Chains A and B, each alone.
Chain A
Amino acid sequence: MPEYSGSLQRVAVAEGLWLIPLLPLLAALLLGWPRARDDSAKNGRERWLAAVAPAAALALLGYFTWVLSARPDAERILVDHVWTFVRIGSLDAALSFSLDSLSAFAACGAAFVGAVVAVFAVTSNVSRFALAAMNLCVSAFLVVVLAQNAVILTLGSGLGGVSVWLLLRGERDAKRGDVVVQSFLGDAVIVVATLLTFWVLGGTWTEAGEYVPEFRPRVAGVEIVTPEGHEPPKLDREAGHVTMISPQAATAYIGGAAICEVDAAGRPGGLGPEANPCKKVARSPFVRIPIGPSRHDLRVVTSRGNDATVAERTPVVAGQETEMAPVASTFGFREVHNQLLIRDVSGARVLRVALLNKTLWGINVVALICGLLVVAGLVKSSLVPFSGWLGRLKDTPSYAVALVVTLGSAVGAFITVRWGFLFDLAPTASGALALVGAMACLLTAAAGVFRADYRTALACFGASQLGVVLVGAGVGAFAGAAYQLVAQAVGVAAILLSIDAVGRASSREGADLDELAGSGAEHPSLAKLVFVVAAGVTAAPIPGLLGLWARDGVTATAFAIDRIGFVPGWMVWGFLGLGGFLGSFLVWRVYYVIFASAPAAKKPTKKKKRKARPLDQRLLWVLRVLAVVLVVGGIVGVQGRYWGSSHPALIDTWLASAFAGAGAPPSLLSSGVMLGQLFGQFSLSLAGWAAARSRYGRERSKSWRSDEERYGQVQRYSLELGVYGAPAGLASGVGTLAQVVARIDRSLLGRRFDDSRIEPPGQASIGSDEPAHEDSAESSSGKEESD
């Protein structure tokens, strides 16, 4: 019987994963550097880099996903170690990427959306700098989803924040600074959550408040058990097999001999100098190196030769795989997840128990970490109350809004899914996440309902769909959450780009719904395409497309669970339903105003007469591709339970390996009840469509325009007072405090107070206004006098 065992995921090493985020990053760097001369011909060629890079990343992803899919379910994870990032004692992080079923799915979705949006943007002749920002955004999101550990995920999250700011043309509008500051807030929360997770795994805060640091990482030999129902890998029955993934770039020894990756004779495995000289010494990550079955003293050397980590008398069993797994502080997602699965000889999951018993300031640390992740999810996903800046997207180009909402804001939601297995340990935090996600879905959708421009409205819709992802992570429907993440990316990008194409074809570049009203009559084929896209996104009035099944993965689980921590499942389901109703109403409102209403009656201006022009066929093809994905993408989410089949949805099967041992238990409700809840959700979406159709369709009331303005004002005031008031008040308080501090600062060492060097209180808020240029002449003269 092994001392430690567990159904850990078996890993393969795949070099080249790092190229996937690097390609768009390089394109961003090449396109972003300011040019002294404008060479239009060369610019035209180089601009296609913006589309080629994400497409190439998608192709690479396709290859690696194919490699991944060829492996058995329980072995679907590829790891690529690039270099060590930080290493001292047990604080060990590497620049490493991994591709499991979750990251493959999310990365493919992101690269696809990035490439499609880039093609759209290139054909629309946007600036090089904007193309660079787009590629940076794609690269950042790919780093986030491919990150092997939490440190690299933070790196991607930070880059994502900057790319969002650049996409919003932050360099032109000083008011967009709140996006940057909000991004820093999100990153700070992620950093704290990550570090708490790291230290709580290995370090100990004693009751006296003292911590005993560890000078080296800890590892233990864990025999990998093949889960029931899975076929074990074909291993040499005569030999034991040693695997080490983390700590990375470490060397393993048995006694005094290094483990060989390739021995002197060119054969794989074996031991070092005495028995079998190494041609190539194994440095982690390495997998399944055959050694003699016995009890071995395995020594792992990371930094200093005299700081070896030793796992004494580790049993290496013939025909089995033993992984040298970290059993203490680690940043790796897989490694943390594995620690929760490791069992001792009695069958107890000892590390999981130990983790659950840790407290900080009397609070369960896992609950604290999950609470922080909830906040990070809200902040980075721009959900209420952190969605204030979405209201200023009117002047931002649609392609930029599409990327900001589908990739930039999706970072927060993805983080909650990635850490989903931790939420599994903290029911209270899970309940909070589900409730907060559902309410955020509802409120963020409500914030976009009566918006006067389609970009803000659809951005709010996109953000509200990320709330569904948060709910998925909270209720344990991780596969549904991941599905929803990709579905909303494709759907929101499709609808935003479609309407933008309508505007271009009608020579209406603005985002005002009023201005775009009636454009559909000029482009009937495009109107049909947008109808399909809207139906795909909202699941109404055509059921069975991507939108319905993506949401169903989450809503069905919420419905089937009695309680999620302290939150009743039906409550979450209800909020999601209302959110679905509002979301559907929002999207269809945009559709009907643009395609079914008459043009606004305005006096003709003296400006150039508007002239409808044929739609660029390349743009049309981009939109067709998105529409097709929205239609056929639903297939992978169709649940067999609705007609009594035991086969789960394709997406559930694919993503199951990423969440082994975590997630909600299978539903005990009958298929009839589940079908009822599905019908309920669909009915609510349908009701949203019906409401929008009756209000904005061909038979709308005559006073609808004035009603819109009135509702819009009520909505704006209620949001500013009720939702965004707290952050604004906080910012104002910080500004006043800063004034006080600056004055004390001046007087600390006896310096005469100089008012001209401190801003008056009204200007202390962040990014609030332009520089006070009016005073410049006066200030200059004042300076000259003082000099």
Chain B
Amino acid sequence: MEVLYSPPETLIRTSTHYCPGCGHGIVQRLIAEIIDEWGIRGKTIGLAPVGCAVLAYNYLDIDMSEAAHGRPPAVATGIKRVHPDKLVFSYQGDGDLAAIGLAETIHAANRGENITVIFTNNAVYGMTNGQMAPTTLLGQRTLTSPEGRSSSAHGYPLRICELLATVEGSSYLERVSITSPENINKAKEAIKKGFKTQMEKRGFSLIEILCPCPVYWRMGAVESMRFIDEEMTRTYPLGVFKDWEKIAT
């Protein structure tokens, strides 16, 4: 019988701990698909964060390390310097990357550290039950902004791609979403471009992926996808923010 479809080898066949409707499963699967397609399982090293994706190493059949909250870019730096010819990526959420680990993020970018950051932005701290993240939208209700995020009390949503675009050392920055098959394909291409940036030793790449968190957004799965398309992308417009191929040198 002809096999028409099979899940990626690199994706370990197990049930995940992610909530129904969560975006992590989709993103991790995309990573696994790329590793399979390019045949780079033995050349890839991944970093799992602290946060909902803490157990990412249970789902990807590659060498992986955990990193403390906010520190994946520093750990990735240490790994990449030892194995400059391996593909090193960190997988990070918004609390990890944009709050506690912002210094590590900016400085890894500024050093032009040749790593790829997969940044899942779901505008909330999921693992700790739904507190406000640096990327939480204005008006969005969370456990620590029960009346909705207000700029006067909580500051503004932090736009990471825009921020890092001002950092000279960054090479490729793109924001994508996974709200439709078309967007998922685009997200996959973006991750590929990030990996390619690294493999060609072009320096720091970061792919920001707008992800749904139906549980802590208190929405259904479909409604969450619609929320991303209609609300979230107004604060976080999709697109390429920096591309080394388009920068005249």
B is bound to A: no
Residue positions of B touching A, CB distance < 8 A:
none
